[in-house]
Structure 1
Amino acid sequence: MDTALTRLVGVRHPVVQTGMGWVAGPRLVSAVANAGGLGILASATMTYEELETAIAEVRSRTEAPFGVNLRADAVDAKDRAELLIRTGVRVASFALAPSKELIARLKDAGVVVIPSIGAVRHAEKVAGWGVDAVMVQGGEGGGHTGQVATTVLLPSVVDAVDIPVIAAGGFFDGRGLAAALAYGAAGIGMGTRFLLTQESTVPQAVKDAYLASGLTDTVVTTRVDGMPHRVLRTDLVAALEISGRARGLLRAVGNAARFRSLTNLSWRGMIREGLAMRHNHKVTWSQLIMAANTPMLLREGLVNGNTDAGVLASGQVAGALKDLPTCAELITGIVTDAEAILRKLS
């Protein structure tokens, strides 16, 4: 299926696996790449050395293009960008907009830059800075999300910018891909759907929890890290919702210490990242402290399989999913169904 996205990135199919922390590792990314989609390696929960090793592992598993998701506000963001350039990674994706200088450096080296955005004005801003494409996530999407549904946000962004737009938030099958293309998108991005595949390393008990959920079994909460976060409804999330502010901040401080030890990030480095977030995204100090909850609570659920003590980020599509296909089966099925639908409609 030929679109502006496949031509830009060099993949066979306009299907993107998003960079989910603790989930999008070498095994999943390479499986998506070998199936003809764009797999994106999640690096925010990795040290620099772990990222270097992960890129090498993906390279050993596939010759197809793939991407790496970077934190634009990380203290070593420039070093990680240079690593992508040096190792020939095709795509650099960002959850938060990178600086003009970082965009220029990556583009000059031939790396495709694709930030994720949740508002029309953000798409217009990064398009003006020279990014190659944008991924638009509507409110149905898992993890950090906005309030505007994909069906409203997507066409608004398509009308506002002249670069390829990837649609994310609520996609899981061929009907969704056909609909996204009809809206003017160049492809779709999926997170929860790829989390629920054979190659995903998420523990089986956690996958079973996702598969058992219904369409109304996710909730958007600010109690995980101070920002709107779509997750599965669990007893832990319910407890976070009713817990006091002081207790939540105290827990977050402890999680900050745990995350620092995992990533080898110094306290000075964490403070520098915090100051950058305050400057660029206008968040409060309490939100910064609570942000430490995110990686540790997600790790407890998605890596350790502890659904009682962890948080499970999830899009609303979890309630529509009942199987665990391989990545090849998933992508082939989506593209085949989308092509059939488009032929029928025409």
Structure 2
Amino acid sequence: MTAPPGPQTALTRLVGVRHPLVQTGMGWVAGPRLVSAVANAGALGILASATMTPEGLRAAVREVGSRTKAPFGVNLRADAGDARERVRIMIDEGVRVASFALAPTKDLMAELKDAGVLVIPSVGARRHAEKVAAWGADAVVVQGGEGGGHTGDVATTVLLPQVVDAVDIPVVAAGGFCDGRGLVAALAYGAAGVAMGTRFLLTAESTVPDAVKARYLAATVKDITVTTRVDGLPHRMLRTDLVTALERSGPLRSLLRAARHASAFRHASGTSWPALLADGLSLRHEKRLTWSQLLLAANTPMMLKSALVDGDPDRGLMASGQVAARIADLPTCAELIARTVREARRTHESLHRGPFGT
């Protein structure tokens, strides 16, 4: 299905995509199949690399390249000990966009920009957007508190206009978006597009197991919560028996579980113990975590994998934006993007016929 012509914005002109829509780099979810489907449908797909080895990243980038000639990006952990190696892989393989969950360092950003790679960090606060803009970021993704995974406490409707007014680079809105009405609303606030995670997780090309997708589709607003008991940081996810158990467990049990998961993640990601420790120290400095919180952070990757890859929602975690409560189907990426663009056009036209129309 081909989408009708959509709005052309600073984002579409910057990246070279047809539609101002971004699929976020969700760990264990945003692999070559999903990213290439999004790219072929005219939006910007972002490959998640944090859960891959460097060799796995190179293979994944090449697989996406074999599936599409459209631009796509790679999401990196700026605090990873092997971040520079991953940057070199991206440059070598001709990746168009570098996406960061944490602000990149100045030298990493300079290396990417010197190689012609667009740098688009994700932030959750106005001051962070101002910082990366001053460092030379090409655009910024701003996620409000409604967004899934690690999140803040400021709603998109407050945070987005703050950032738009504070920086002079394209701003992409994230947190609470799943359709064309949301796209028009974001554009009205001054954004150059919207980024969606949960909505793209719930598509036909997403490799998340069907049983887990069913749990998302059945969720109501009350089934989506924020907890700090997984890794010491605010984390939005579906409430399950496991989440309740984590919130009730004592500190010793939580730390023992975290240590087991740290070992499992080391094997899955190909990370050595020294590199894992270095990453942890960087995270501790960046997020000002206590040592207990740092060890708890080892929970996240493998507990997410249990649900999103292994298909066991009762033993894993399901990161989710609040918008999951509005999603009721599993379209292909092409269908979703075409529908979003059509709805945005209809919404825009209805506004011109409304009280402000002529």
Q: Does the alignment reach a TM-score above 0.5?
A: yes
Structure 1: runs of 5 or more not aligned = none
Q: Work out whether 1:304 is the aligned partner of 2:310.
A: yes
Look up the match of 2:23: 17
In structure 2, the partner of 1:56 is 62
* 5+ residue gaps, structure 2: 1-6, 353-358
How far residue 343 of structure 1 moved from its aligned partner, in angstroms, is 2.2
Give the counterpart of 1:203 among 209, 233, 237.
209
Whole-Å separation in 2 of the counterparts to 1:210 and 1:193:
10
Q: Secondary structure at the match of 1:216?
A: helix
Match of 1:112 in 2: 118
Specify the SS of the correspondent of 1:324: coil
* Paired position in structure 1 for 2:80: 74
Q: TM-score, normalised by structure 2?
A: 0.96
Equivalent position to 1:89, from 86, 90, 95: 95
**Amino acid paired to 1:191:** G
- Displacement after TM superposition at 1:191 (Å): 0.4
Task: Tell me the residue number matched to 1:42.
Answer: 48
Partners of 1:306 and 1:100 in 2: how far apart? Answer: 40
After the TM superposition, which of the residue ranges 259-268 and 277-286 deviates more from structure 2? 277-286
Residue 276 of structure 1: CA displacement? 1.6
Q: What residue in structure 2 maps to residue 161 of structure 1?
A: 167
Residue 268 of structure 1: aligned partner? 274
User: Out of 139, 147, 152, which is 2:153 matched to?
Assistant: 147
- The counterpart of 1:187, out of the listed 184, 193, 202, is 193
Post-superposition offset of 1:340: 1.8
Decide whether the 8 Å contact of 1:216 with 1:316 is kept in 2: no
**Contact 1:259 1:296 (8 Å CA) reproduced:** yes
Q: Name the SS of the counterpart of 2:222 in structure 1.
A: coil
Aligned: 1:337 with 2:334: no
Pick one of 124, 144, 154 that aligns with 2:130.
Answer: 124
Deviation at 1:279, TM superposition (A): 2.6
In the aligned structure 2, how far is the partner of 1:166 from the partner of 1:172?
Answer: 14
Q: Output the amino acid matched with 2:152.
A: G
1:69 positional shift? 0.1
1:288-336 per-residue CA deviation (whole Å, 9 max, x = no partner) reads 1111100000000000010110000000111111100000010111111
- Provide, for residues 221-258 of structure 1, a one-character-per-residue CA deviation record: whole Å limited to 9, x for no partner: 00111100000010000100111111101100111011
**Residues of 1 paired with 2:219 and 2:298: CA distance?**
27
Distance (whole Å) between structure 2 residues aligned to residue 121 and residue 51 of structure 1:
31
RMSD: 0.7
- State how far apart, in whole Å, the 1-side matches of 2:70 and 2:343 are: 23
Q: How many residues align?
A: 346
Paired AA for residue 59 in structure 1: G
Counterpart Cα distance in 2 of 1:173 and 1:278: 36
For 2:319, the aligned partner's letter is A
Deviation at 1:143, TM superposition (A): 0.2
1:282 aligns with 2:288: yes
Give 2:105's aligned residue. 99
C-alpha displacement of 1:157: 0.4
